[in-house]
Structures are given as structure tokens and as C-alpha cells.
Chains A and B, each alone.
Chain A
């Protein structure tokens, strides 16, 4: 357990670094008041906004106030979100939309899309990789190689567009985009899952090939275990370490890939929110979305490390000794 506590501590520090980066980067791109109100805003409006947001306070104080707000679940307030035109008086009354609510409303959709994409990709990739390793240099192996290479090489947003043209426009089987029932998720999940599918299948194949050549596999056969158990329990658990590493890696890519795929399919997730915020020059929402994405990445890495301790008993043991 101390290992996990220490590892969680690392994650917390990482998160603080990201928060600091987001805060100071937000200040570096220019005066937040001008960024929000636009260059044409009057000096009085700008000054009032600065006062409202505490932008005239020393930077360090603003920073601690920002971090303090985050700890209490306050990501700030958006003055743009939901307003086509920017009514200046909105800022004056301190009105606006809490960013936390926006992020929390979008997060489940992104998690849903990522889970379907990665879950499907992972399941298929493990089967593909294991089959290829069980029958090396067979037609199955070659097919897996070609498929995984193709799905790694394809560009996500292009694949998204091709899928829309093929399955939505020409065949009319699936909706072009949007969010609703289960079939809305199929095309975006395909577009998002293609890359992890290929990468994980390739890594699984090579890791399984290595493991199947090890003496413990011969010993397992010698004691009369059925081959499916040797592959799916004995070898796969040892091949799991590189597979989990690459999956964690791909999951991080998946979160960033979601930004493009959500935009292509009009999927109301964090990525879509982030692009909207960029277009609207909506700094609080942008910061909130970035923080949400970064937190996801950090949590994924933590989960990957926890999975290692399960897969490799030596990891937890050696850290117990330290």
C-alpha cells in the first residue's frame, strides 16, 4: 500500500504543476480582461472587470486564490458561454456560467465515448495480437499485421469524415453525428479507437511472441494445461506489462484525439467544449477544459501504475523493501 500512497502523491504533485502552468499560461497570453471583452471594449468596462475578477491584485495572490478555488471545486465563471453577443452589463452584476458545471456536464460524454472506443479497441486488439502470436507467419498473422498497420497510420479526423460519408451519407445506416441513443456512439468510437486498436494489437503480438517462447510456457504445456489457458492466463498476464504501458499511452492520446473526433461528429464532450472555448476566446472555460483533460491523463497514468503492481508482483515487493 505505501507504494500506492506514494504514487498517488506523485499524481497530486503533477496535478499542481499542470494547474500552475494553466494559470500562468493564461496570464501570459495577455490581459485576461482584454481577452474576454475584446480589443474594442471601453476602459471603464475593462477596469470594472479587472476589479470584479481581482486582476489588479498581485499575481501570486491571484494564483493562490485560483488554486484555493479549485480545491473547493470552483473553476471560475464564464461570461461568454451561452451568450451569442456579449452583454457587457453581465460582467458588472457578476453574473455568468460556472465553468465547473459546464465541465461536469460534458465529462460523462467524453468518458462514455472514450470507454466505448478503448474498450472495443482493447478487446479486439488482444484477440488479434494473441491469434497472431499463436500462429506466427500464418495468414492470420499477416492479416493482423496489415490491419494494425493500417489503423495506426490513418488520420483520425479523416477517418471520421470517411466513416460519415460511407455509413451515414451513402449507406444511411448510422447518424452523421450528435448524441443520443447507443448507435450515435458507433462511428465516433470507430474513428477514435482505430489508432489504439492498431498499436495495442502490434504490441500484444510481439509481447505474446516473446512470452510464448519462454520456458514457463513449455512447463505449462508439459503439465498438461489446455493451450487456451496457457495463452490467456500464463502468457497474457506476463505480456500484460508492455500492453498496459501502451494502452495507458494510447489512452492519453485518446483524450487528445477526442478533441478532433468530438468536433467532427458534434459530440458534446470536453473536447468539443474546448474547441468552442477556443473559438469564443473563453479563457475560464478553456482553462477548465484543459484542467479536466490533464486530470484525466494523470488519473489514467495512476491507474496504469496500479495495474502494474497487479501484473508484476515484483513491483510491489521491491517498493515494499525500499
Chain B
């Protein structure tokens, strides 16, 4: 346990108290929808938890249920129309069973979310100043001036230059990276304990991606905030996260500390993802693409959803859905052959 803590401390450069109780835990969360093509299960029996100050990466291709699950946690997807089961515990209380009014109180204050396309997530016809300050003004009952001062403070924190003079600017006058900074400032206005970042850098240039990731890490560290980082980019997660959840087709494929995930990936999908990732520390002839495409949610293969693309697949995989099994402390995978694969990769 100690060795692992140290390892993680080395990787991310700051400390997370792994013995602490999780600040939020998701237990058996499932989200389904009725579509014209029949019912689909976007999120299927997902469980994870996050501690104070921790960064949790959620990795998966598009359509793997990453965003739907988090939007359900935020209360942006509700039942009906969605069919939601499972629990999301915050301070031991299930927030999914709370009335809407109470859940709204949690948003902003306890948890906030930033989105992939920052320009679309900002209101085109309201000024930046209004959008950053309005929650603070309405929820905290602050005066207009006090709220604008708060907005300037937040804009300084997310390093928007000459903040005060840009209070009256509109989103279309900002670049993509600046819009993302505005959105981060907006999400931080109520001082949330958990920040959910849904692909925060996907729509940005590579150099700007770096700045935004650094900024997210910085505000997390300064505020002791927990960060849930959703991405399809393993590189981003490798640098920032303490632990990660790998999602495939709405289910959890694997969850582990970053160290374990990279050293001993135990699900064929995780392994394939790692092999598809460019590295500087290993000589590779060429990157290994994962054959095939992810299944559409309305046509998930029987048994293991990854089976058609899996190099380890056996007849058993078509009949039996693999359950998530614990392999070591903080390391679980949902594959019938997880132990064997783990064994194999640890000797590579």
C-alpha cells in the first residue's frame, strides 16, 4: 500500500490520502433510453469512487457511455425519459433519489462540469462577466458589483489577461482556449468540491490543450478539489490522473491506479489502447490499431462486448458476460482471462 502511494506521488507530484473515505462513490449505475430503434443501455452497472483532491480519469471511445454517466450524476439527464438505476453517494447520501430542487443545490456548489465545446457551452448573447458572475449573484445573494469583482478574481485565476476589461466581451470575441478558460472560471464560481471535465481539451490545439490541462491541475491542487477527467486520450490521463476507469460500450472494462494500468493492463481492450498509443520510451515498428469499430449501443454483441475485436476471444466470451473482478488492491477488470493477461503483461 505504501509503495503504491509513493509511486503515485512520484507520478503526479502531489499527495492524495488513499486511506480517506471517498468523497463520491458511484454504485451500480445504469442508464438506459428508449429510442426508435429499441431500448439501449448507455451505461451498464458502473461503479467507481473518487477521493478528495484526487484525479480520476475516465477513458473510452465515443459512445462508450462516459458522458451519459457523468451527465446523469450531474442531474442533466433525468428519469424520465432515461431509465436510471443504481446509486451515487455523496456524503453517504444517494443523490439520484433526491428531488430536483435539492439536486440543483448540489450543482455548482458540490460539483460542477465543464464541456468539450466551450464556445457552444457559453451563451452567445450574454457577456462573459454575466455568465461567470450570475450563479454567484443569484445563489449567494451577492450584489451585482460584488459578483463582477468575483468574476474578475476567477478570471485572474484561470489566467485570462486583462480580466476586468473583458467582463463586457461576448464569447465569440474569444479564442477556443480562452472560452475553455471562461468555462472553467464559470464552473469554479461556487467553489465546487468535484469538477467533472468532459473532454475539456478535445476541441483545442495541441499547445492549448497542454495549457488547459496544466490549468486544471493547478486549480485542483490549489483548491483541494477532486477532478474527474473524461477523455479518449490516454496520454492526457497518463499525465494527470491518479486512477482511471476504462469504459467500453457502456460497461467498465478495467479500473486501476495509473501505475497498474500502464504496467499490468489486464483487459484486452486496455492493452490494445496502450499499444495504439505512441511512445517515446519504446521502439515500435508501427502503432497497433484496434481492428473493427466500437459497437453501436443498440447492437451490443452477446457476452463480452469487446469480443468481436478481441485477439484473446474464446467461445466462452460469446456466451458469458464477464463480470468486473478484483485482481489486486484498486485493480479490477472485466475479462474472463484477466489474470492470465495480467500475468503475461507483467513479464513483458
Contact = CB atoms under 8 A, between A and B. Distances in A.
Nearest to B122: A216
Contacts of A313: 124-125, 170, 172
B74 A238 contact: no
Given A215-B121, A216-B121, A238-B125, A222 B172 contact: no
Contacts of A220: 123
Nearest to A236: B125
Nearest to A214: B120
Nearest to A314: B172
A116 B209 CA distance: 55
The listed residue with most A CB atoms (<10 A of its CB), out of B109, B121, B123, B186, is B123
A224 B123 contact: no
Interface in B244-279: none
B104 interface: yes
A27 interface: no
Contacts of A237: 123, 125-126
A207 to B, nearest CB: 13
Given A215-B117, A313-B170, A314-B172, A225 B138 contact: yes
A223 B172 contact: no
A28 interface: no
B341 interface: no
A321 B177 CA distance: 23
Main SS of the interface on chain A? helix
A218 B121 contact: yes
Contacts, number: 85
Nearest to A229: B138
A311 interface: yes
A226 interface: yes
B105 interface: yes
B223 interface: no
A219 interface: yes
A221 interface: yes
B189 A223 contact: yes
B338 interface: no
A312 interface: yes
Interface string B173-188: 1000000000100110
A215 B121 CA distance: 5
The listed residue with most B CB atoms (<10 A of its CB), out of A214, A216, A224, is A224
Contacts of A312: 124-125
A313 B125 CA distance: 6
Contacts of A184: none
Interface string B75-109: 11000000000000000000000000000111111
B139 interface: yes
Given A234-B126, A313-B170, A219 B183 contact: yes
A177 B200 CA distance: 64
A7 B101 CA distance: 46
A260 B347 CA distance: 91
Contact of B115 (A219, A225, A240): A219
Contacts of B135: 223-225
Interface string A261-305: 000000000000000000000000000000000000000000000
Nearest to B196: A222
Contact of B76 (A222, A226, A311, A314): A222
A224 B121 contact: no
B188 to A, nearest CB: 10
A218 B71 CA distance: 9
B199 interface: no
A208 to B, nearest CB: 14
Nearest to B123: A216
A221 B107 contact: yes
B172 A238 contact: no
Contacts of B190: 223-224
27 contacts: A215-B115, A215-B117, A216-B121, A216-B122, A219-B114, A221-B75, A223-B190, A224-B104, A224-B106, A224-B108, A224-B135, A224-B139, A225-B108, A225-B134, A226-B104, A226-B138, A227-B104, A233-B126, A234-B126, A237-B125, A312-B125, A313-B124, A313-B125, A314-B170, A314-B172, A317-B170, A317-B173
Given A219-B122, A222-B107, A237-B126, 11 more contacts: A214-B120, A218-B121, A219-B121, A222-B74, A224-B109, A225-B134, A229-B138, A234-B123, A312-B124, A314-B124, A317-B170
